[in-house]
Structures are given as C-alpha cells and as structure tokens.
Structure 1
Amino acid sequence: MESPVTLSLLAVALLLMAGCTQQQVENRPETDTNYYLFVGTYTGEGSDGIYLYEFNSEDGSVIPVDTAKGISNPSYLTLTPDHSFLYAVNEEADSADASVSAFSFDKENAEITFLNKQSSRGGAPCYVSTDQSGKAVFVGNYLGGSLAMFPVEEDGSLADPKSTTVHEGSSVNENRQNSPHVHCTVISPDNKTLFVTDLGTDTVTGYAFDSDSLTLQNTPSTIFVTEPGAGPRHLTFHPGGEYAYLVNELNGTVVAFSYDGESLVELQTISTLPENYEGSFSGADIHVSADGRFLYTSNREDLNNIVIYSIDQNSGLLKKVGEHSSGGAHPRNFMIDPSGSFLLVANRNTDNIVIFARDQESGLISPTGTEVSVSQPVSLQMVPID
C-alpha cells in the first residue's frame, strides 16, 4: 500500500487516466459523499488486478487510490454486507486454475489484503455473491455449469465448499447452448433461496438456503424455464422484494417477474432492441435504481448501449423510456452509484469506465465527460468511505 503522500502525487499524475483535470482535484469539495470504487478486470492485456478508486457522488469525479496486484483475472467482485471482506473470481477456463479469492478490506487505510483462495469447483467462474448475513459465498462457473457455496471464516477467508451442484442439459442454440453455463447466483430478499441462471439450459433455478446451518440444498425448490434460446444471464430483485428482472443474453429480452417468497412468476417479456433491429447483440448486465422506479440493462456487440425502462410501482411492469450509447465497446457491467445521481459503465473492449449523470426523475442518462482508463474492466462495486 502506498503512503498517503505518494497516493496524492499518484492521483495528480494519473489525472488524465481518471478523466479529471488538475483544477477538478484541487477544487474537489470536502463532503461525506465519497465512495470507494472497486474495479475487477481481465489481466491478460495490461491490467494489474483489482483497482481501487475514490468516487465523489457530488461531482462524479474519480481519483486512483490503489491496485491489488498479482491476481489473475479477478473479473467479478462482491463485498460482504459490512464491507469488511472482498471476494473475486479468478476467471480461468481450466478448472484446475479456476478459483475464488478472499481479501480483507481496511476502509480506514484503503488496504486490500489477500487472505486465501479456493478452487471454484468448475471452469471460468463468472459470478460471485454473498448471502445477506455475509456468512456464505456463492460462485457460478460458466464452464461445466456448476455452482458452489463456501462458508466464510471469522477472518473472512473461505473454507472448503459445503455444497457443490452441477447442472445438466442443453438447449436449442447449438453454438452457445450445447451444455450448461451457470451465469449468476443471486440470493432472494428473504435470504432463503439462491436463484441461479443457466444460459446453456434456459433455466432460472431456486435452491433453498439456510443461513443458520449454512446449508444449500442440491435439489431445486423452484425452476423457471425461459423461451428456448433466450440464454438467461443476470437476475436482479426490485428493492421492495416483490419483483425480479432477468436479462437474457441470446434473444434480446428482459423478463419481469413477481416474487411470492418461493417462486418467480412471469409478468412480462420486453425487448431490449431497437424496433426492426437486425444487427448483432448480446445482453449483459441489469440493475434497478435504489428508489425502484427504473430498470437498466446493457447490450454488447453492435449495439453497445444502456436501455432504460420505467417500472410501474403497482404492477412491476416495464415501459421502455430511452437508450444511450455506453461510450465504448462491450459494456460487460455497469452500476448506479449509491446517491442515484450517476451511472458508471465498464466497457471491456475499449478499456474505459464512462461516468454518466443520471436524472432521477426521468431515469435518463447523459455523459459527464469523465472517464476512467483501465485495461479490460469487467465488474464495478462501490462502498461508502466513512
């Protein structure tokens, strides 16, 4: 970890990289709206590992703080609810090398310290999450279609997996769905069901979870089957807990669900594509604003955009209200900052994170002119500094 003086000099030296000017940094307001921004990356073409920045939600400025180096392909990240521990998948295709790494995070000193790692029990792990107590870590493996649950030790390190489940099956897209491909693992609002999307089998499967005994059942408690060839990718819940939304990677749709505490019931399927669109596309990420009024999703390939929907608060139904270029290529992941004033997009193939201002009344976004240059950004996470 660099000293504070060194970090200040580094921040100034990297202003162009962070998309800020000298004057912006010197005039930066002292507020309680500063957050730590964590960026997970692929390390094959110039990235050093996990990047840590300071983000200001008053002006949208970004300053480099530190880099956790020597970590192979920490593509997807998550933190425990108390923000004390950080987990990253090591996205290696070979299951012998694929793993999940645990780190402690010292907020006061902005220090990321490696604790240990475990085999992810599959190939190309692409998603990691925790339960709402922070006692368990769930990992989804794209290759082999498996998921694993790891108990968290008192020091934040990962114990041997207590549960490993391997999916079986395929679907209609011969190029992408000839085998299972687990893509995300999301715990339900009541912390009792782990929902797992499988791009290869066109399913969203729920597994019963008990946080007291730290047990995850291997037998599904509920299964939702999408349209053939949809390719379920990421799932997110509405802040109120009564709705959930799924982005499908392969058919350009979002599915809205009601959630009754046990299963997902389809309410609506809506397109993410422009009318009469005939180009290439690939759905990626999906998030609901903290006030529950808007849903956002990203498309890659030729589209490279963010699509915006309003959410009917009485029914959970979606209405498309706009779309905007992602400001780069391959928007693999994006996030809304905790203030709700900004939306940050990680464009993997153009090595940039673009900061958009977000109108909280209309839900629409507009470029701020601020970008962060970092090699192959994949995952964004943010926690308060104080």
Structure 2
Amino acid sequence: MANHANRQIVFIGSYAEPGNPGIYVYSMNNETGELTLLDSYSDTKNPSFLDVDHENKRLYAIGEAVLPGEQESKAVASAFSFDPETGKLSFINRQATVGTGTCHIQLDPLKRFVVATSYRNGLIGMLPVREDGSLGVLADSHAHEGSSVHPERQTRSYPHSAYVNDRYNLVYVPDLGIDRIKVYTPDVEAMKLIPAGETVVAAGSGPRHMAFHPQLPVAYVIGELDCTITVLNQDTESGRLAAAQAISTLPGDFQGENTCAEVAITPDGRFVYGSNRGHDSIAVYAADAATGQLTLIDIVPSLGAVPRNFSLSPDGRFLIAAHQDTGNLVVFKIDSETGVPQDTGYRAEADRGVCVRFWKE
C-alpha cells in the first residue's frame, strides 16, 4: 500500500442508520479506476457530506448522533484522522452543529474552522478547528429571511451549502429557498460570520451548490429547481458576484421530472460538469478560457438512479458518481481532449451514497 502514485483514496458519505456502514473508504487504481474497499465507519447516522483536510490527513463529516449526557439525537459534525496506507479512519471528536439535521460541511482552506449548513432548519453554523484537528463547540449561527416563487420548495429559507473562498476571505452560501447567494466575512479571532451582502439569482432557480474557477474570477452555481448552471463573475477587489450566463443541464426535448444536484470544474478550468436527478445524467460543458462562460458539449448517462453527488479526482482524470437510489458508485475516465466522461466499467457499492471526496496527497 505504500506506492501512492498508483492509487488515490476516495471517501464516500451516505444516508445510513447507526450500526450500518455510513462512511466508506476506497482505494482507486490511478490507471484503471478500479475501486477497492479499505475501511468503513458505522457509528454516525446519515454522514451525508464530507470534507477533507488533505495536508493533515483528516476527514470532517456531518451526521446525527446522541452526544454524551444527552438522550436525543442531534445534528453533529465529526472529526476523524485517517491512515493513507491502510485507509483506516480514527474518530477524534464530534460537536453539535445547527438544527436537527445538516446537509453540508466545508473546511476553511486555512483549517481554522468549518461551516455546517442545515437545509431542514434554515441555518448555517461556524465551528472552530483546534490544532489537533478536533472540533470546538458551535461558535456562531445565522438564519436567513425571505421566500421565492416555487409554491412548495421556496416558502422560506433553505440554505444548501457554504463555501469558504480564501482568495477574498468570504463565505458564500447558496440559499435554495430565497434564490440568493448570501455572503459572509469570517472573523476568525471572534469566530463569527459577519454578513457581507448577497447576490440575487433567477427567481425559481433554487441555488444549491457552487464551484469556483481555478484561474479566473468566476464561480458556477447549479440551480436545483430550474436545472441550470449560472456563471457568476467575481469582482476582483470585493469578491462580489454578478450573474453573466445561465445554461440548461437538460436536453431540449426532455419532458420528465428532474432536479439538479452537484457542479464541479476540472483542475485546469477547461470543463464543467453538473448532475441531473431524474434524467440521471451528467451534463458536460466547455469553459471559455477568457470568460469562463459555458458551451454544452454532451449529456451522458450517469449509469445509476439519482446521482446526488460526484467528484473529480485531483488530477482531473476521473469522475466518480454516487447514486442515492441505486447505491452504486460509477467510475468514469475523463477524455482529456473532449472532457466527456467515459465509462471505465468499474463499479462499487455505497448504500444510499450521496457524497464523494478524494484525498489529495
């Protein structure tokens, strides 16, 4: 297991009951894409989203658990260390987050704090990360106000994710319920999130997840409800976002039900991907080298039901899609010329798998 050049570590989060595997650790062959299960962790309910501290070999996960001295299950964030030789996870600690269930967690790139998001309760929360990687108690939380046009999905605030952008020292929070991307400035000394404005996106779009261009001042937000990806220009001084383009994730003749889930960009900034749940596919776009705006290349079947999440390998050569309903992981190899994912034929299992994260050595 010492030859890391031939493999990559992949973490999978899922919806799982306590006692059943919830976090899976796989090794992926870096030439073929074949997945081999190394370890699993089963002591947390619904560890459905993950983030990785690549440098310090730590994993952060949301979920639900009964904390010491309490009787009721709460939304928690858990910290783990991992051994890249064996893939074994070692529990560090957990802390209560916000609300009764969280849907997203992101680690600050400077490893000072995490931000947890609760779709169910309309809250975001900030927890400090200690030097040993353990999590401190919830330090700050915020709720958003408002609604939008969808009669069922947008009756109130439903934040779905949060992204710490250290280029501008900002936290961006796509709020599906109010069609806004809320912005905060993290005050790390006070461990507070300071409101710093918002960007309004198209009514009824339902902003869910974001990705940031690795070179250009451009961001991408996927609309869960209107099945689009919106290209946002970032002001190079303030980091403020302004919509520049919206493009569909679906074929023009598609008439069925669909919601979008994940968006990602290759490390070289050439290609952008978005997942469709219902059409069960991955939309593939070319990103303009000067503007970051998108041109649809292809829409390929994801080869499973409900691709809630996918991730690109750190070198941009592979894409792994996790399917919530069929519980299968599908490994694609990215065509380096066209950007189109090609099925490797390799599959693995992750019951109700809903998050894919690579470790970047």
Match of 1:73 among 11, 22, 46: 46
Q: Which residue of 1 aligns with 2:62?
A: 89
**1:184–1:313 CA distance, 2 compared to 1 (3 A):** same
Q: Which residue of 2 aligns with 1:298?
A: 275
**1:61–1:34 CA distance, 2 compared to 1 (3 A):** same
1:241: Cα distance to partner?
4.6
Letter of the 1:68 partner, please give it: Y
Letter of the 2:215 partner, please give it: G
2:291 corresponds to 1:318: no
Q: Which residue of 1 aligns with 2:25?
A: 52
**1:174–1:45 CA distance, 2 compared to 1 (3 A):** farther
Within-5 A mapping of 1:334-345: 334-345=310-321
Report the Cα distance in structure 2 between the residues aligned to 1:96 and 1:344, rounded to whole angstroms.
31
2:359 corresponds to 1:383: yes
CA contact (8 A) 2:216 2:291 kept: no
Letter of the 2:103 partner, please give it: C
CA contact (8 A) 1:46 1:375 kept: no
Please list the CA deviations of residues 229-277 of structure 1 after superposition, one character each: whole Å capped at 9, or x if unmatched: 1111001100115110000000111100111242001110111111132
2:219 corresponds to 1:244: yes
Q: Secondary structure of the equivalent of 1:124? A: coil
Within-5 A mapping of 1:230-379: 230-260=205-235, 261-301=238-278, 303-379=279-355
Letter of the 2:225 partner, please give it: L
Unaligned runs of at least 5 residues, structure 2: 66-71
1:215: Cα distance to partner?
3.4
Report the Cα distance in structure 2 between the residues aligned to 1:249 and 1:64, rounded to whole angstroms.
31
1:107: Cα distance to partner?
2.6
1:46: Cα distance to partner?
8.8
1:45: Cα distance to partner?
10
**TM-score by structure 2 length?**
0.93
CA contact (8 A) 2:201 2:243 kept: no
What RMSD, in angstroms, separates the aligned Cα atoms of the two structures? 2.0
Please list the CA deviations of residues 34-72 of structure 1 after superposition, one character each: whole Å capped at 9, or x if unmatched: 111111011149941211111112111111111112221
Runs of 4+ in 1 over 6 A off after TM superposition: none
Report the Cα distance in structure 2 between the residues aligned to 1:241 and 1:140, rounded to whole angstroms.
27
**TM-score by structure 1 length?**
0.87
2:107 corresponds to 1:107: no
Match of 2:7 among 23, 34, 46: 34
Report the Cα distance in structure 1 between the residues aligned to 2:337 and 2:291, rounded to whole angstroms.
19
**1:46–1:330 CA distance, 2 compared to 1 (3 A):** farther
Q: Which residue of 1 aligns with 2:111?
A: 134
Q: Which residue of 1 aligns with 2:102?
A: 125
Report the Cα distance in structure 2 between the residues aligned to 1:164 and 1:45, rounded to whole angstroms.
27
Q: Which residue of 1 aligns with 2:163?
A: 186
Q: Which residue of 1 aligns with 2:68?
A: none
1:203: Cα distance to partner?
0.7
1:214: Cα distance to partner?
5.6
1:365: Cα distance to partner?
1.3
Unaligned runs of at least 5 residues, structure 1: 5-29
1:191: Cα distance to partner?
5.4
1:210: Cα distance to partner?
3.8
**1:354–1:149 CA distance, 2 compared to 1 (3 A):** same
> If each structure's helix is expressed as a fraction of its own residues, which one has the higher value?
1
Q: Secondary structure of the equivalent of 1:222? A: strand
Report the Cα distance in structure 2 between the residues aligned to 1:96 and 1:68, rounded to whole angstroms.
18
Q: Which residue of 1 aligns with 2:69?
A: none
Report the Cα distance in structure 2 between the residues aligned to 1:108 and 1:133, rounded to whole angstroms.
25
**1:31–1:223 CA distance, 2 compared to 1 (3 A):** closer
Report the Cα distance in structure 1 between the residues aligned to 2:131 and 2:6, rounded to whole angstroms.
30
Report the Cα distance in structure 1 between the residues aligned to 2:227 and 2:186, rounded to whole angstroms.
31
1:218: Cα distance to partner?
3.6
Report the Cα distance in structure 2 between the residues aligned to 1:179 and 1:294, rounded to whole angstroms.
34
Please list the CA deviations of residues 298-346 of structure 1 after superposition, one character each: whole Å capped at 9, or x if unmatched: 0102x00000000001111100000100100000000111222211100
CA contact (8 A) 1:143 1:180 kept: no
**1:56–1:210 CA distance, 2 compared to 1 (3 A):** farther
Q: Secondary structure of the equivalent of 1:32? A: helix
CA contact (8 A) 2:26 2:87 kept: no
2:122 corresponds to 1:149: no
Q: Secondary structure of the equivalent of 2:137? A: coil
Q: Secondary structure of the equivalent of 1:143? A: coil
**1:45–1:158 CA distance, 2 compared to 1 (3 A):** closer
Q: Secondary structure of the equivalent of 2:256? A: coil
Report the Cα distance in structure 2 between the residues aligned to 1:306 and 1:85, rounded to whole angstroms.
29
User: How many equivalent residue pairs?
Assistant: 353
2:141 corresponds to 1:164: yes
**1:191–1:102 CA distance, 2 compared to 1 (3 A):** farther
Q: Secondary structure of the equivalent of 1:125? A: coil
CA contact (8 A) 1:102 1:156 kept: yes
Report the Cα distance in structure 2 between the residues aligned to 1:161 and 1:282, rounded to whole angstroms.
32
